[in-house]
Amino acid sequence: MSGLSPLWELSLMRIRVLTREPSTLFWVFAFPLLTSLALGIAFRNQGLSRLQVSVADAPEADAIVRQLDAVPGLAAQRKPLAEAREELRRGRAALVLVPGPTPELIIDPTQPDGRTAKLMTLDALERMHGRTDTLHAVEHETTAPGSRYIDFLIPGLLGFGLLSTSLWGVGWALVQMRTGRLLKRLAATPMRRRDFLLSFLLMRVLLAVAEIGFFLGFSRLLFGVRVFGNVAALGLFALAGSLCLAGLGLAVSSRAQNSETASGLMNLVSMPMMALSGVFFSSSHFPAWSQPAINLLPLTALNDGLRAIMIDGASVATLGSQALVLAVWGAASFALSLRFFRWS
């Protein structure tokens, strides 16, 4: 028990520091939730929007506009040709139709909606000119559970929230103690470096438990996001990810002398992962040659594992590669922290 006493006392110290800095609670709990709220409202399921078609001025333009407006999923407006082209250039229109004996369709090949608008517009024009269908298919609409964008987004935001609070909550606190010369005072005590650094990890675990539970409850209540896998398995995997990222925070700040250096290092670590690790969109969109490196990032492993449990109902046993990535990063980061940490 005596071996745990220094670690326990240091952890209590971290809790007291937290209670005296209520702003930390905002970044740990409120900021991720507000981000989720804003993005969830922006990307909530509203059905597919109508594709805009600009019909250039011509004698038959009004009849074509009426025909296109009657097609579910299309919205047409009559405009001068120059204005219609400008709408297409700005991305406000998916297609420009120039009426005539041989209609002209102007699309931007870089716009995905352009191809859909082209097919729907050609179908409407052919019907307008007397085409009849010989086959009538029966259509059934269904939305699979977990298929919404918000279902994809929430695990990514949880992973990114754990990254932010682990890096900044651990690394920033350590740098503040160094710049405030508190570490020099602690160096004079019979304290082991290992116990001091482990106290940060223990505090991060305690905060992460509350953070994960609060985040999942919030997303369930507000957006109906379900966990299709085991909730306990999800919590354990998220805690493992939080520990790994906290170790990364210790490694980044182990020698930083001031807040400017620490801020730059933490941004250098977090920004690439925010862009590459599938927080807001799947990391599979990046080129195939970059996938092995992206899959080795700790946030990628964490996000992939969280999504596998939450959306696919996967068990922890099937997440061996992601768990290995987190374990290697966590162990290596803590080892580097022990090796390079200094009190002054």
Model pLDDT, residue 3? 46
- Tokens found for residue 107: 């699309």
H or E element: which one contains 194?
A: helix 193-223
Instruction: Tell me the angle at which helices 31-42 and 149-166 cross, rounded to the nearest 10 degrees.
Output: 160
Over the chain (344 residues), the average pLDDT of each successive run of 10 is 58 66 63 69 66 91 91 91 91 91 89 88 88 77 71 88 83 77 72 80 83 85 86 93 90 78 81 88 88 93 94 89 94 88 73
pTM: 0.74
Homologous superfamily of domain range 51-127: Periplasmic binding protein-like II (3.40.190.10)
CA distances from 157 to 23, 54, 190, 198, 306 (A): 20, 38, 41, 26, 10
Model pLDDT, residue 192? 78
Residue closest to 277 by CA, chosen among 159, 126, 174, 143? 159
Residue closest to 155 by CA, chosen among 305, 297, 39? 305
> Where exactly are the structural domains of the chain?
8-43+148-340, 51-127
- Tokens found for residue 243: 């520990």
**Burial (Cβ within 10 Å: 0-12, 13-18, ≥19) of residue 334:** buried
Model pLDDT, residue 171? 77
Phi, psi of 97 (to 5 degrees): -110, 125
